[in-house]
Amino acid sequence: MSNDDCIFCKIIEKEIPSKILYENNETIAFLDNFPISQGHTIVIPKKHYTNLEDIPINILYEIMGTVKNVSNLIYKNLKNDGYNILQNNYKAAGQIINHFHIQIIPRSIADGKFKLLIPREQSTEEELNQTLKIIKDSKY
């Protein structure tokens, strides 16, 4: 399964060159050409899936195994202070390339990059119960 217009499918097919950190039968991990930080890496399934809900669970296990191994490799060898694992679904969440991908973003304490300090407000018991009901009781 691939998509002719998909840049990630072209990377998998080696039509577009990339700096591959790791590859197995189901996944590939390569350096982002527009890194947020040194070592910013993209992990993707070799088959074209658009979003999280499209991916068979066995393939998701493979992807997360690659994310774990490559994260360990980056963290150990680049000696950063930490890293973010980022995965966006749909345009509203910032997804730009419609091929499921997970980003590994190495971080330093004082790198001045994004911080996940998003304003939040505490929900009431009633709001939480209503949200639970909507999510759990909906038929789809």
Identify the active-site residue in 40, 48, 99, 101. 101
CB of 16 to Zn ion, least distance (A): 11
Q: 98 in helix, strand or coil?
A: coil
CA distance 81 to 113: 13
CA distance 90 to 51: 8
CA distance 104 to 127: 34
Q: Does 101 qualify as catalytic in the annotation? A: yes
CB of 5 to Zn ion, least distance (A): 8
In the complex with Zn ion, which residue's Cβ is closer, 9 or 104?
Answer: 9
In the complex with Zn ion, which residue's Cβ is closer, 84 or 98?
Answer: 98
Is 41 within 8 Å of 29 (Cβ atoms)? yes
| Residue ranges that bind Zn ion, judged by CB under 5 A | 3, 6, 8-9, 48, 99
In the complex with Zn ion, which residue's Cβ is closer, 99 or 107?
Answer: 99
Q: Beta partners for 102?
A: 43
Give the number of other CB atoms < 10 A from CB of residue 19. Answer: 10
Supply the residues annotated as catalytic.
101
